[in-house]
Amino acid sequence: LYRFDFDSPDFNLYRAKYCGNALVRGVSHADDLSYTFFSNDSWKVSLDSAEYQTIRRLIAILTTFATNSDPNCDEIKPVIWTPLEDAEPNMALNIGYDLKMMELPETVKLQALDELFTDREQLY
């Protein structure tokens, strides 16, 4: 489980497109796609930028996971990304300007959604 929390001033393309860049700060759903795939809305970033470092991290995580089923790689060291466990709390790799394993802050909201779906399944 990971949580994309990288608040770029101008490269979080989905936030900029749907919420505006000047009025709203933070990260929007799917903003990590800007760092994973080049698109018509993307541009080359400076090699010494935090955005470039985030791109390198995400690509390394994905290619390492695809290669050996383990996302841990040199680009995220010394952090060790641990698998999600059935037991609480839900731990996630928080991908921001820094990387860290942390308890998922949205756990309570996700539990409420789980309850909605559980109730719905009982209707059928």
106 contact partners, CB below 8 Å, separation of at least 6: 3
Cα(102)–Cα(83) distance, rounded to whole angstroms? 12
The structure's pTM equals 0.83
Tens-place pLDDT, residues 62-117: 999 999 999 999 999 999 999 988 877 889 999 999 999 999 888 777 777 777 77
Tens-place pLDDT, residues 38-55: 888 888 999 999 999 999
CA 124 vs CA 61, 97, 112, 113, 114: distances in Å:
39, 45, 20, 18, 16
| pLDDT interval class at 122 (50, 70, 90) | low
Give φ, ψ of 110 to 5 degrees.
-65, -35
82 CB-side CA count, 13 A: 10
